[in-house]
């Protein structure tokens, strides 16, 4: 995929409210597009097959052991996968909770939308239009196919686009979010773009893993996660500083670290292990890595 390919869809979707000039696509972003276009791990698809909501993030909440049944049950693995999916959908529900009330004529933006599960959930909850952006043509095609299957293609749409330079008009978006996608970009550039597209008083929410400044530097576990996903995990301090510099004022900062551990410990016992589970579990336990929700208002 070339740099031109990554911005073509966005350029063709110029907002009527303003002329869209796509931000430059770097070689790194091209690498990320190729990574997700070629990603073939079964975990996201197997979990999404439970109810047709395909996520690209992790879960929160206590494991319902009664739902898992007996380990000797022939359906135990299927039940475990269903429980993992319930936890990841609970994570998306929590993010949507922090968007606040939305009107049916509002437009929301999912920056780094993956296969579109959160977009579908947002439309189902609020009834409004949801636009997703991703560098991966494969993900965008998948998300748009699901929207057609659900009959909501007029309200839910994904496009191949650089999240640092979107086609949306200045001040036209009611709320936006990054769900485990902000580690692929510079935070100042990211929050400048969210600040640009959000209406005054609009809400921005992120759920993300970040390294803990109190630990001193990224731990070996955090370094392993970076290498596994070809990303660059930021510190908690960097998030708050970059938001302040871009007129995004935090209204809630919630530490979800303890809430996400059950998901990882359960996943480590499943057939869907990818080899990165140990790094997540150990980094959360030693305090070097945190899982945060930050909700901020555009002022």
Helix (H) or strand (E) holding 134: strand 129-134
- Indicate the DSSP class of residue 177: E
Residue 70 has pLDDT above 60, yes or no: yes
The predicted structure's pLDDT at residue 12 = 36
Say if residues 60 and 91 touch (Cβ distance below 8 Å): yes
pLDDT band at 73 (very low <50, low <70, confident <90, very high): confident
Residue 6 has pLDDT above 60, yes or no: no
Q: For 85-131, what is each residue's pLDDT tens digit?
A: 999 999 999 999 999 999 999 999 999 999 999 999 999 999 999 99
What value does the mean pLDDT take over residues 135-158? 97
What value does the mean pLDDT take over residues 7-19? 36
What value does the mean pLDDT take over residues 236-240? 97
How buried is 89 (Cβ within 10 angstroms: 0-12 exposed, 13-18 middle, 19+ buried)?
buried
In this structure, of 73-77, 193-197, 211-215, 246-250, the range with the lowest mean pLDDT score is 73-77
pLDDT band at 5 (very low <50, low <70, confident <90, very high): very low
Query: Which CATH code is given to the segment(s) 3-298?
Result: 3.40.50.150
């Amino acid at each position: 995929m070339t740099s031109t390919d990554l911005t073509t869809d966005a350029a063709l979707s110029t907002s009527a409210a303003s002329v869209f000039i796509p931000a430059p696509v770097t070689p790194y972003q091209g690498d990320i597009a190729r990574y997700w276009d070629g990603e073939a791990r079964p975990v996201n698809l197997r979990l999404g097959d439970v109810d047709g909501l395909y996520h690209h993030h992790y879960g929160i909440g206590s494991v319902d052991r009664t739902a898992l049944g007996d380990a000797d049950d022939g359906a135990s693995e299927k039940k475990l996968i269903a429980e993992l999916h319930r936890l990841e959908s609970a994570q998306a529900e929590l993010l949507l909770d922090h968007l606040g009330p939305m009107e049916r004529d509002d437009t929301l933006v999912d920056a780094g939308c993956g296969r579109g599960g959160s977009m579908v959930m947002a439309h189902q909850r609020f009834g409004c239009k949801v636009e997703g952006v991703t560098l991966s043509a494969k993900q965008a095609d998948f998300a748009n196919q699901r929207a057609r299957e659900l009959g909501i293609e007029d309200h839910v749409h994904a496009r191949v686009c650089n999240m640092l330079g979107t086609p949306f008009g200045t001040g036209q978006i009611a709320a936006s979010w990054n769900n485990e996608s902000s580690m692929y970009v510079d935070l100042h550039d990211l929050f400048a773009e969210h600040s640009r597209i959000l209406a005054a008083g609009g809400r921005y929410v992120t759920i993300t893993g970040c390294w803990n400044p109190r630990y001193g530097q990224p731990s070996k576990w955090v370094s392993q996660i970076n290498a596994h996903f070809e990303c660059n995990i930021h510190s908690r301090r960097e998030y708050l500083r970059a938001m302040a510099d871009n007129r995004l004022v935090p209204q809630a900062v919630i530490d979800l670290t303890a809430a996400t551990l059950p998901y990882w410990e359960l996943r480590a016992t499943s057939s869907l292990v990818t080899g990165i589970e140990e790094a997540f579990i150990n980094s959360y336990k030693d305090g070097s890595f945190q899982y945060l929700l930050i909700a901020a208002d555009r002022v």
